[in-house]
Amino acid sequence: MGVVVYGSEIAKKLKLEMTEYIQNLKESGKRLPKLVVVLVGENPASISYVKGKEKACTEIGMENEMVKLPETTTQEELLEVVKSLNEDRSVDGILVQLPLPKQIDEHKILHAIDPSKDVDGFHPYNLGKMMLQEETFISCTPKGIIRILEEIGMSDLSGKHAVVIGRSNIVGKPLVQLLINHNATVSVCHSRTQNIEQVASQADILIVSVGKARLINRNWVKDGAVVIDVGINRDEHNKLCGDVDFDDVIDKVSYITPVPKGVGPMTITMLLENTIHSYNLKENK
């Protein structure tokens, strides 16, 4: 029977440490770290994610502000907002929630965020630095996944075969790079891959981020594999579920992250950590 790894528990521990850190800053009369999240439009999933981020900041005592803009916001208007946040010295982290409405070029916005405030790690400069294994902001979901692996004693992935299903800019692509940096042998699968089930079933570590409810059943999973489920889906009964059929694979895996309470809480926690890191870089310059 596999061990269920609750990201929510790891997150709780890390948030407690961050709460103490911020409390100490407060007691010494210092400026506090601040995150600004920009939400454009009314995408229900985005609203829910942004609320989660707001709640987490408040929980640990971090300064935070939500900038809510209408669906009809133009690219120029959003660029102006980003510019003023770049220039605001009280702001340590800027996150523009994706996806953006179709009239806005996502790349233009991500390029416009000051790389020193890019706590999402989405700016090409920071992605390039990660590739070169230089100190930088690492995208929150991939960073959270690596932390989960570390928590179960898998810091060095030498000799391990990791299979990543999904090639998004937010999760799959940066994750592949991070896994390589941790010495894993990495295969990437996506919608155009042939024999995907066969590739997946060779994984020591199987990481799935495709957004398809319970796509992965026991035939995709090698005996004793570690399974990390990044998907957040609603099934036909409107119940939250991952990309992995948890009940079907649980007796076959060594470790598995559940949905909810798995990767999701770690993503938010890494965002808080990146914001504190940005604050420290500014304050200790």
Binding to ligand GUN, residues 20-49 (CB under 6 A): none
Q: Does 120 bind ligand GUN (CB under 6 A)?
A: yes
Q: Does 109 bind ligand GUN (CB under 6 A)?
A: no
94's tokens: 């800027």
Among 199, 245, 248, 201, which Cα is nearest to 222's?
Answer: 201
Residues 24, 26, 31: CA angle, nearest 5 degrees: 120
Name, in order, each residue with C-beta under 8 angstroms of 165's C-beta and a sequence gap of 6 or more. Answer: 172, 188, 189, 190, 196, 200, 206, 207, 208, 209, 210, 216, 243
Of 35, 57, 95, 232, the residue at the interface with ligand GUN (CB under 6 A) is 95
Stretch that binds ligand GUN, among 7-15, 74-82, 95-103, 249-257 (CB under 6 A): 95-103
53 is catalytic: yes
Task: Answer yes or no: are the C-beta atoms of 206 and 165 closer than 8 Å.
Answer: yes
Smallest distance, Å, CB 97 to ligand GUN? 5
Binding to ligand GUN, residues 143-182 (CB under 6 A): 170
Q: Based on CB atoms, which residue is closest to ligand GUN, 39 or 196?
A: 39
Q: Does 63 bind ligand GUN (CB under 6 A)?
A: no
97 is catalytic: yes
74's tokens: 């133009």
96's tokens: 């523009």
Q: Does 140 bind ligand GUN (CB under 6 A)?
A: yes
Smallest distance, Å, CB 141 to ligand GUN? 6
Of 67, 98, 131, 152, the residue at the interface with ligand GUN (CB under 6 A) is 98
Size of the chain, expressed as the number of residues it contains: 285
Q: Does 118 bind ligand GUN (CB under 6 A)?
A: no
Strand partners, 234: 240
148's tokens: 């989960």
Q: What is the helix (H) or strand (E) element at residue 125, kind and residue range?
A: helix 124-131
Active site members: 53, 97, 120
Residue numbers at the binding site for ligand GUN (CB under 6 A):
95-98, 120, 140-141, 170
